[in-house]
Amino acid sequence: MTEAEANEVATALVDEGYYDDEPITLDEIPEMIAARVPEQASQEGIERVSEVLAKAGIKLDDGLPGADARPDRPPDFT
The per-residue pLDDT for range 17-68, each reduced to its tens digit, is 767 777 888 888 888 888 877 777 888 888 888 888 888 888 888 877 777 7
Amino acid present at 25: T
The per-residue pLDDT for range 22-34, each reduced to its tens digit, is 788 888 888 888 8
pTM (predicted TM-score): 0.66
Burial of 74 (0-12, 13-18, 19+ CB in 10 A): exposed
44-60 CB burial, b ≥16 within 10 A, e <16: ebbbbbbbbbbebebbb
> In this structure, are residues 72 and 41 in contact, taking their beta carbons and an 8 Å threshold?
no
Residue 35 to residues 8, 28, 41, 73, Cα–Cα distance (Å):
11, 11, 10, 28
Domains and CATH numbers, the chain: 1-78 (1.10.10.2390)
